[in-house]
Structure 1
Amino acid sequence: MGDATPPKEHLLIVLPLPPNQELLDGIKKKHPGITIKYHVVQFGVAFGHVPHDIPDEDFLEATILVTLGAISADVKLLKNIKLIHLFSAGADRLVNTPVWNETKIPITNSSGVHGPQISEWVILQILSNNHKQKTLLEWQQKHYWGKHTELGFIKDYVGQRLGVLGYGAIGRQTARICKGMGMDVIAYTASPRTTPESKKETGYIVPGTGDRDGLIPSAWYSGLDKAPLHNFLKQDIDVLLIAVPLTPQTRHFLGEEEFKILGKKNAFIVNIARGAIIKTEDLITAVKKPFKEGGLRGAALDVTEPEPLPADSELWDVENIVVTPHVSGLGDTYADRAFEILDINLTNLEKGKPLINLVSRKKGY
């Protein structure tokens, strides 16, 4: 008898994106024998629901599922699946579904694919606030050549401190840029990073970006409760980047107490993670408070609680709070990079190597 034939993989892709034939042909070429079925669904299909136009047979046949949100609620239909690759960076919306609680199917995510574009959005918001871009745009609309005295002097970011709450791909690329601007960077992670090896990023990072070896932060902090968080926030932070996943531990992680600490430096808050990490009303109060009383200098929110943000929410109208509709991660390279992670893991499966970007059910991300 000859060598055993490797198992044939059946790739089921369910995405709110049109198929990119070049990408799919590349996967077929690198992984001979793989079959691909592609279903385009509406954006926003909820986890745990099967879109009506996807036959049960397609789920049953699949050995690998690529999806942003459509996963069968009937785990019996997933019995042949050996890997689920999420097109999203977060897995929080999957946590309470049958596939999470009733199976042990490995789940990988697309964390890292939008590190460059989200970090650019972060820098845009930091600089726009600092250089009073909103005022300048208003002057332009009015055709008004304002006086220097009306604008005031701008304090540049040299010597100021960026605190990164969640030092993953986005935090590392933002740290890289801010370091180039002359800022000091400190990092906060859930678990301690006390050795050079533990500070390295093991997930996907866009080549030429980020801080793979974790050499940029001047100091590292860690923990899952308020005491270590407060110790981190007390380190004279000028700009706080929130980049942690939403878990039971991080839900409403930042509220009145935390903003009071940050108010001592009149910090600027940037949230690109999940809206529920912040207590919204407490943030509004802290931003509206005068600087002399410990008010925050402002906030930039690409995520809110809830989403979409209701038209009557006070957040829209608070001076020095910028709200964008969860768009910081949009980019024309998103799909290419997400499929690159899938391609890497297909190779790892074939060679019996560990998967990258593996989601931990215990941690929730």
Structure 2
Amino acid sequence: MGGGAELPQRGREKRELLLFTPPHSEGEIDDLINEIKEEFPNLDVEFSQVAPDGKSEVPKELYQRATYLTTFNWLPPNAAAAPNLKFIQFLSAGVNHVAKHPIYTDSKIPLLSANGIHGPQIAEWVIMMFLNHSHKFVPLYEQQKQRLWNPATGKNVTDSPGKTVGILGYGSIGRQVARVAKAMGMKVLAYTASPRPTPESRRDDGFIVPGTGDPDGSFPSAWYNGLDKENLHEFLSQKIDLLVLAVPLTKSTTHFLSTPEFHLLNKSNPAGTYIANISRGQVIDQPKLIEALEEKLISGAALDVTDPEPLPKEDPLWEAPNVLVTPHVSGSSTVYAQRATQVLQQNLRRLRDGGRLINEVDREKGY
């Protein structure tokens, strides 16, 4: 053959590696993985299943070669140990659990959350707990277990039209709560960390499960913002019937609600605000929450998160009046893994096409 440059051969292209380290089995997402392989023919996919505590050993040769990492909480020891990573796709909505890891603190590898996949199931949990409370389901169920027929127990209930839901943290979860609450005839108030003065600023540019949420931010009748107590107190003064805590845990939101806030809620709504916390336990000053429940400053609380977790058997929160506690399960769903992989799939496309990655974490803000 004559001289000249040799034509590039497709088979010799440098292959990329997508490394999965989830606690679930790969069988749950087989169809999506096959879609990804077909769409990205130069991409190899490897699974290395880890324990829920993230302490499993992942073969060094895998993360050294990985181009993309999908994980709940396992990370390579540092960025130098995984020199080819273009992004890390987390399977959780928050990343505060790795905020002290060297990859978070000392690297610029894009960290992407799975924000947006939890909206439907968590919104249903919030509304379920609120309806349990307002329709007195718990005492009715206790009555059933005793085989008692006492209609008076279920007579003095309240329904939802005309009530106000205040959503502290108007992200994907809060937006789906708003959609459901609005359908029930409730007024929606939104609270965000930063101002959202324009229609464009109120849009949701993250991952959205089709047919859910509030993509254009049209459901709230009023918007509030800020991480200072003055703005928070203005929001809490709006006679809120259901207060939903959906903020990320940061230094600013730690113990965001404590005794002054519970007194303010009581002053603005003597009938009693019901609090649903699906963010993190530390957002509420838990001992002060117990006092607020005992003093009837609020009508009740539904908590899917506590401080600490697991909640110790001897903790007084278990016995606090009008409280419902679930073990951090509101985000669970049979389609969780599929939805999280769909976020990954969209981010692979966006990186390939030069678009903006979905759900990139702002390391300064912590979310």
SS at match of 2:143: helix
Q: 1:278 is matched with which residue: 269, 278, 284?
A: 284
Equivalent pairs, count: 355
Q: What residue in structure 1 maps to residue 42 of structure 2?
A: 33
Q: How does 1:284-363 map to 2 (within 5 A)?
A: 284-290=290-296, 295-363=297-365
Q: What residue in structure 2 maps to residue 227 of structure 1?
A: 230
Name the CA distance, whole Å, in 2 between partners of 1:345 and 1:310. Answer: 39
Q: What residue in structure 1 maps to residue 52 of structure 2?
A: 43
Q: 1:16 is matched with which residue: 9, 12, 23?
A: 23
The range that moved more, 304-313 or 6-15, is 6-15
Q: What residue in structure 2 maps to residue 191 of structure 1?
A: 194
1:245 aligns with 2:252: no
Contact 1:160 1:183 in 2 (8 A): yes
Q: How does 1:127-142 map to 2 (within 5 A)?
A: 127-142=131-146
- Return the offset for 1:74: 3.1
Name the CA distance, whole Å, in 2 between partners of 1:3 and 1:86. Answer: 35
Q: 1:92 is matched with which residue: 77, 96, 113?
A: 96
Contact 1:263 1:286 in 2 (8 A): no
Gaps of at least 5 residues in structure 1 are: none
Measured on the aligned residues, the alpha-carbon RMSD in Å equals 1.4
* Distance of aligned partners of 1:96 and 1:286 in 2 relative to their CA distance in 1, 3 Å threshold: same
- TM-score, length-scaled by structure 1: 0.95
Gaps of at least 5 residues in structure 2 are: none
Counterpart code for 1:196: P
Name the CA distance, whole Å, in 2 between partners of 1:151 and 1:179. Answer: 25
- Return the offset for 1:7: 5.5
Deviations 1:23-50 (A, max 9, x none): 22121011111001101111121xxx5x
* Distance of aligned partners of 1:352 and 1:281 in 2 relative to their CA distance in 1, 3 Å threshold: same
Q: What residue in structure 2 maps to residue 177 of structure 1?
A: 180
Name the CA distance, whole Å, in 2 between partners of 1:276 and 1:61. Answer: 38
Q: What residue in structure 1 maps to residue 167 of structure 2?
A: 164
Name the CA distance, whole Å, in 1 between partners of 2:107 and 2:248. Answer: 22
Runs (4+) of structure 1 moved beyond 4 Å? 1-7
- Return the offset for 1:22: 2.2
- Return the offset for 1:8: 3.0
Q: Percent identity?
A: 45
- Return the offset for 1:4: 9.7
Deviations 1:122-154 (A, max 9, x none): 010000000110110011111110032x44421
Contact 2:32 2:342 in 1 (8 A): no
The range that moved more, 251-260 or 16-25, is 16-25
Name the CA distance, whole Å, in 1 between partners of 2:361 and 2:79. Answer: 19
Name the CA distance, whole Å, in 2 between partners of 1:100 and 1:4. Answer: 38
Name the CA distance, whole Å, in 1 between partners of 2:151 and 2:74. Answer: 55
Q: What residue in structure 1 maps to residue 105 of structure 2?
A: 101
Deviations 1:91-137 (A, max 9, x none): 11111110011110001110111110010000100000001101100
Name the CA distance, whole Å, in 2 between partners of 1:4 and 1:27. Answer: 22
Deviations 1:261-314 (A, max 9, x none): 112211000000000000001111111114xxxx21000000000000001111
